[in-house]
Amino acid sequence: MTMTPHGRTVIDRIWDAHVVTELGGERTLLHIDRILLHERTGPALLAGLAAAGREPAHPELVFGMMDHTVDTRPTRSEDPRAPSGSVFIDSFRQRTAAAGIRVFDLGDPRQGIVHVVSPEQGIVLPGSTVVCPDSHTCTLGGIGALAWGIGSTEGEHAVATQTLVRPWPRRMQVRFDGRLSAGVSAKDLVLALIARFGVNGGQGCAIEFAGEAVRALPVEARLTLCNMAVEFGAWTGLVAPDDTTIEWIAGRPFAPGGALWDRAVAHWRSLVSDPDADWCETLSLDAGALAPQVTWGTNPGQTVAIDQPVPDPAAAPDGQRRAAMERALAYMDLRPGAPLAGTPIEAAFIGSCTNSRLPDLREAAAVLRGRRVAEGVRAIVVPGSTAVRAAAEAEGLDRVFTEAGFEWRKSGCSLCFFSGADDFGGARRVISTTNRNFEGRQGPGVRTHLASPATVAASAVAGRIADVRHTPRS
Amino acid sequence: MEPLTRIEGIAAPLMRPDIDTDIIIPSREITSPERTGFGEKLFAPWRYLDATRRENPDFVLNRTPFRHARILIAGDNFGCGSSREMAVWALHQFGIRCIVAPSFGAIFRTNCIRNALLPVELPEADVQALAAAAEAAPLHLVVDLERCEITGLAHRRLRFEMDAGERDCLIAGLDAIDLTWRHRAAIEAFQARDRQARPWIWEPR
Ligand code: SF4
């Protein structure tokens, strides 16, 4: 019998370009092109490295960001909004300085959320391998990088050796066919995917997101899509680079220029999947049929279309899942069978590495222009980077938000997670553009509904979970 | 890293699916950039009733004999969510050395291997059987990493699979960075080639 030759996937192509050596079994020693650090997990990593008497192999390939614990209130102070947060900030400053690693500190125009800043500055490039001790590193797949989150100890390994050991990943292709309808975004696409196949639907795979709907997405929306690959249980996700990607990167501060640019582009254009590529798994979803999505429960898979009722645990496939649904409903204080749209909210949050880029802010502003947030709703918008904030202000979006009653904040992770101090001021039910609706994620007892920026804006105005398709834009 | 060959002790059942690292150790509990002091913070939202750390008597790890558990029997997708390695440190510092579940969050699983905490994947039915036995009567298990098997369940010997490289590292307690430096020549050769092939990677201004 002859072997059938199979085409190769974009993941194989990036992987192969980074193989240092095969270690036997399923394991490979991979070269790592970029290591990103932030002040929340970076200090322990650098402390471990120093304690072992080790030094960074290539400090010029390591970048540090201040994002997780920084004060994002409009009056930003040096004091972090987390108990003992200054320990993290100070320790990160000292340890990065000692290790010769550059940091975009508070006050730097490049400061912001690591997963927003690193593509924006051209630090992360298509076809590169990128790690960061942060689970949403997969966001960077949106630009065609093979990027994944690691722990602190693996981070030490990466910084010390510029390599990591990885098992050969199973490769999955997820196709989104058709075109998104008006009012439906990349966030809805990925929430629908997780709802359909479950929070472990990605099975630890490396995923290529493909199909007509993905090709039509701008880079920022691809970053949103890949951001939630980890919430889908994937190892990582990416979108193969194309003209959209290449145009987006051109001219960014750390991107290659001159003759190197042409060589880089030639390489990036080779990073595609063959039509007969050998996928371990393939999934597909009709993007054209999707409505805006909102989570009802306490994980991102507990999601329904905005026009659907809260599901009934009686329909769960087994007892364990039924119990999990019942717990989620109790925590979220929702009744099965009731419509989710119309549920009163007390706060609205636009921000995080999922949805805080300029197009996200534009989408929300288009809904908010000439409107006011409903009485009693605490509304907060946090641009993902200082550069996004400046760009938004240059086109007057800050005024649209503040005139609508939103608080216009400085860049950082902010209320994406509760770090102990900054909170929604007693609000219990929050509609949020973030990526995790886990119990207590945004504060003790806080009930989080994940949605797109447009849905959050429409809901803030209505004072209840709302269908943005019924809120005309101005 | 401490070598890990055989883990023996009480198994505690915690059969919820999708237990995320925010529950294993919430962000607000992470108040130090050190690697120690996380044991008492493990599962804080479930383990304690209030800020004074009054114990919730219903939570499994507050009950006898489970407060001395060495092995945790957990639901599907255990350790999903944030990459925080403090989740593994908290489990380890509490005394847990092995977690048995149908599947794990990918980053969490790697973090376990790096910290001498053994993640064992078993089919859902086997995990259910272990959990049911642990609920019914104190269950003392022996997890043998050399043989890749778990004993202690009446009339059953549960085999599990593990990547040989990972297993060898755990058994020998080898330092992964030292192991990697054995390939220094290959790393240097790769980098020399790569500087020619992809020079833009090496000059981020
Ligand atoms: S914005 Fe939220 S999810 Fe993103 S890196 Fe910051 S804390 Fe993590």
B:5-64 residues touching chain A, CB 8 A cutoff: 15-18, 20, 22-23, 26-28, 30-35, 45
Q: Do B186 and A41 touch (CB under 8 A)?
A: no
**Mutation to probe ligand 1, out of A132, A409, A435, A436 (largest number of atoms < 8 A from CB):** A435
Q: Do A31 and B194 touch (CB under 8 A)?
A: yes
**Hey, what amino acid is at B203?**
E
Which residues are bridge partners to B163 per DSSP? none
Output the average pLDDT for chain B.
94
The domain ranges of chain B are 6-174, 175-205
Nearby residues of A447 by Cβ (< 8 Å), 6 or more positions away = A331, A332, A333, A428, A429, A430
- Model confidence over B173-198: pLDDT tens digits? 988 999 999 999 999 999 999 999 99
What average pLDDT does the segment B81-85 reach? 91
pLDDT of A84 strictly over 80: no
Euclidean distance between CA atoms A434 and A432, whole angstroms:
5
Which residues are bridge partners to B159 per DSSP? B149
Q: Is the CATH code 3.40.50.300 the one for domain B6-174?
A: no
- Give the sign of the dihedral formed by CA A171, CA A172, CA A178, CA A181: negative
Q: Which residues of A touch B31 (CB under 8 A)?
A: 83-84, 87, 420
Here the ipTM equals 0.93
> What local confidence, expressed as pLDDT, does residue A30 receive?
98
User: What are residue A173's phi and psi, to 5 degrees?
Assistant: -110, 130
Which residues are bridge partners to A299 per DSSP? none
Q: Is B38 exposed, middle or buried (0-12, 13-18, 19+ CB in 10 A)?
A: buried
Q: Among candidates B19, B170, B5, which has minimal Cα distance to B91?
A: B19
Euclidean distance between CA atoms A369 and A380, whole angstroms:
15
User: What's A293-470's CATH class?
Assistant: alpha beta
Euclidean distance between CA atoms B24 and B45, whole angstroms:
8
- Both tokens of B184, joined, read 């220094």
Q: Which residues of B touch A436 (CB under 8 A)?
A: 20, 22, 81-82
Cβ pair A320, B75 in contact under 8 A: yes
pLDDT of A228 strictly over 70: yes
Cβ pair B140, B28 in contact under 8 A: no
> What local confidence, expressed as pLDDT, does residue A441 receive?
93
> What local confidence, expressed as pLDDT, does residue A3 receive?
52
Q: Whose CA is nearest to atom 2 of ligand 1?
A: A416
- Model confidence over A339-393: pLDDT tens digits? 999 999 999 999 999 999 999 999 999 999 999 999 999 999 999 999 999 999 9
**A22-167: CATH, from 3.30.499.10, 3.30.70.60, 3.90.1300.10, 1.10.3720.10:** 3.30.499.10
- Model confidence over B137-154: pLDDT tens digits? 999 999 999 999 999 998
Task: Look at the block and give the residue holding tokens 């197009």.
Answer: A359
Q: Is B159 exposed, middle or buried (0-12, 13-18, 19+ CB in 10 A)?
A: exposed
The domain ranges of chain A are 22-167, 293-470
The reply to whether A22-167 and A293-470 are identical in fold is: yes
- Both tokens of A289, joined, read 């049929």
**Mutation to probe ligand 1, out of A65, A117, A134 (largest number of atoms < 8 A from CB):** A134
